Chain A
């Protein structure tokens, strides 16, 4: 199953290097074992670190096995006896907790000696109340799988230790027999003839050949050479078994790793789009907006040039300026009126060529269009990325509050700055909720609160309006937006008010 999915998983994770994990090759690769490989294997680094892994594994495996088994057994027995159910369940959770700790140590060892870097499981999720905590701990899949590994590891560790110690000791003894016989004289002749035997590493077939002459010791040596070449492979087999268990029980499950992948790619997508919008706003600001300002300015100069009428313009200039400004102050679209008045004045001045008046009208229209485009473009840019956000969420919320037509009481306490994507979402939530309060609630005042707890951001907008808001319409859109980063939105709006909308956001996507 996992092998069949191998290639597609690798392709998906290939885009994000940090999510790459160990995936067994899709097609079992039949490697040709060359003589060279066989000769070199006993002396490779891998062989020795695998051997080390096998040797150090047994004592902790034994301790872990006993502790976890005892806790599980006693816990289960007590739980089933009903009388000690509480203690029993606590012992079970202790067993699972211990299994998690042991599993973490095992992952560390595997990473160091086997090069198996397995991401650990997420911590046990937080829950409220003693029963809730007990529940999530008992249903902790990672904990149970860890316990499974700890229990399976003991027999495996025994085999591993034997595979290493048994074989290597036999190899060394056999290899050194000529030396021990000839030089060290470990096998003196006590009359009945010297006798030694080839050491057999296997637990069976004990009838190893006996050696009675020095020449015979070379047979043992030859067997020792053979054993030396063979020695790495049982250990490798036992370690392969361990790798399989590690992946199966201590690695992230297929679903878990998929979730992890999705979370990471989603975070990338969210951050990317925030950065993209910011760049878009900056491009508009540095490009189109500047061009339009320059265009409007040139058109105004052109208009002035066309309308330069010494008879009427010069004395009225001061007044006309002030007038234009005042209109600007009262209504944004006042340019129309001013332009018309100016046009009429041009006609009155009796400037003979009709063309001049016409050109002037055209220039007026063009100028008006340019300034209107400018203000539309500004609103658009603000909708894409409010420039105030560049200085952080507190300043942006401050700007928002200042722009609101209702009095806004703003409290911001954000000691750590969230990522830009989160800031943008928080800002747009606040803006939307503020608009809602103004449009629909009939409130006289709004309170906006932004606080941080355990890194998570809580944005709360309270209004003293008529209440009765439900999670629909605009709020659904907000909820969707908030959910793209695993945030939450909670509406509390009893009939008659007040309405409290709380948005929670993680510190990063």
Chain B
């Protein structure tokens, strides 16, 4: 993967660069603020960017705006936002234009290097990676709505949660210690309850996730 990192803390910037390089990825640029990020993305056209939300000058949500810009201007570049706190409204803003090629993780997740690079790879490939905390919170929100999400069983909701995290059926099966067939049954039931017509499987999957995230 070709990666651009935007993180204002030098310690973390260097460590991320080192870790990704060690794993055979190319870090084209590691920059400390949002403007430099936009410039670096325009210059290097990376597969994916890792973006801290709080960056200078205001230390609030510069990273989020840069991420939304990048998704708009460079659809080929995935964006993985990461932050000390995750806010559902940031997630909602980020996902407003689609869930493909975006990720939003708590900074803590970097502490699990394998999982983090895995998420980064998913985002680079046009997938989604949402932090479990965000997903649970959105799920709690979604569960209160009436548009079919409330009808989901506990198990179905956790399957949908993992779908939102960007996992495949096989990965979900492994995580829940069930067979792939069982997961498929759950997925079909979810589609049914959400009223998604049987057409192309992948499309329905994205629709289900989006319905769930926007609820």
What is A's interface to B at a CB cutoff of 8 Å?
282, 285-286, 289-291, 293-294, 296-301, 304, 317-326, 328-330, 367, 370-371, 374-375, 378, 381-382, 387-388, 390-391, 395, 398-399, 402-403, 405, 407
Contact = CB atoms under 8 A, between A and B. Distances in A.
Given A325-B175, A329-B162, A398-B89, A285 B136 contact: no
Interface string B139-165: 011001000000000000010011001
Secondary structure call for the B interface: helix
A407 B144 contact: yes
A326 B162 contact: yes
Given A297-B110, A387-B54, A399-B88, 16 more contacts: A285-B54, A289-B84, A291-B11, A294-B11, A297-B15, A299-B111, A300-B114, A317-B114, A323-B174, A325-B112, A328-B112, A328-B132, A329-B158, A329-B165, A378-B85, A402-B137
A297 B111 contact: yes
Contacts of A371: 108, 111
B161 A293 contact: no
A403 to B, nearest CB: 6
B39 interface: no
7 contacts: A299-B111, A317-B114, A326-B175, A329-B136, A378-B84, A398-B89, A405-B140
Contacts of A320: 114
A158 B8 CA distance: 74
Interface residues of B, number: 44
Contacts of B36: none
Interface of B: 8-9, 11-12, 15-16, 19, 22, 54, 58-61, 84-85, 87-89, 107-115, 118, 132, 135-137, 140-141, 144, 158, 161-162, 165, 167, 171, 174-176
B89 A399 contact: yes
Contacts of B118: 321, 325
Question: Which 9 pairs across A and B sit closest by C-beta, in order of nearness?
Answer: A326-B175, A296-B111, A329-B132, A290-B9, A402-B88, A322-B171, A390-B60, A300-B113, A294-B11
Contacts of A390: 58-60
A316 to B, nearest CB: 10
A423 to B, nearest CB: 14
Nearest to A406: B144
Contacts of A318: 171
B12 A290 contact: yes
Contacts of B15: 294, 297-298
Contact of B113 (A297, A328, A387, A388): A297
Given A293-B110, A294-B12, A402 B141 contact: yes
A280 to B, nearest CB: 14
Nearest to B9: A290
B111 A367 contact: yes
